A and B are shown apart, each in its own frame.
Chain A
Amino acid sequence: DGGITQSPKYLFRKEGQNVTLSCEQNLNHDAMYWYRQDPGQGLRLIYYSQIVNDFQKGDIAEGYSVSREKKESFPLTVTSAQKNPTAFYLCASSIRRGGTEAFFGQGTRLTVV
């Protein structure tokens, strides 16, 4: 089955540590996205990439980094510079041109302990 796989489902991080969230898709989509979800605030765009080896900052990129070395993979690193990293993180993908929708993964819940 085609889809988007995020791992792990739950992640715990100590303060001061960097952690990397995985996102893999087998939909052959060019574009991939990372969103952060906080209660009562909807989803906010962190980073997005429309082609391999290229990515752009979204609305809340500070304290995060990404890479796009392969079409099917778009990992997100939450760095120690992110002051409030506890949140639900969602990865999505879409066709770059044409198509009409984005597809989402099941999410990773990150908790700072």
Chain B
Amino acid sequence: GNSVTQMEGPVTLSEEAFLTINCTYTATGYPSLFWYVQYPGEGLQLLLKATKADDKGSNKGFEATYRKETTSFHLEKGSVQVSDSAVYFCALSDISGGTSYGKLTFGQGTILTVHP
């Protein structure tokens, strides 16, 4: 079956530091990959996505590249802000079986705290 593994957290950084959150996956088909962000007490918002190998997703300074050879989709940001403090989820969706993009397999989430 499909699975997603994220780096252990929580992650604590100072403002303007470089961020990397590792994500690796296993999938039987050809999945699409996502990073979702969750602010305290709220639902999930899509941060970025990549639907095929070597695609790079980017949004709000965050980037992640779909690496099929290493089955990875690591999230990076060059300079974090206090407002980036949230929980980040890596997820995959495999639509090869006829299901749609909302049927997601999630990693366990990584709590990011950014201090001024």
Contact = CB atoms under 8 A, between A and B. Distances in A.
Interface in A11-64: 30-33, 35, 40-45, 48, 50
Given A100-B32, A100-B51, A101-B34, A107 B43 contact: yes
Given A43-B89, A101-B49, A107-B42, A93 B102 contact: yes
Contact of B49 (A35, A97, A100): A100
Contact of B101 (A4, A100, A106): A100
Interface stretch (B12-20, B69-77, B78-86, B105-113): B105-113
B109 A104 contact: no
Interface string B13-48: 000000000000000000010101000011111100
Interface residues of B, number: 24
Contacts of B96: none
B43 A105 contact: yes
Contacts of A105: 43
Interface residues of A, number: 31
27 contacts: A4-B43, A31-B99, A33-B102, A35-B104, A35-B106, A40-B109, A42-B4, A43-B89, A45-B103, A48-B102, A90-B43, A90-B44, A92-B102, A92-B104, A94-B102, A95-B101, A99-B100, A100-B49, A101-B49, A101-B101, A102-B46, A102-B93, A104-B36, A104-B44, A104-B45, A107-B41, A107-B42
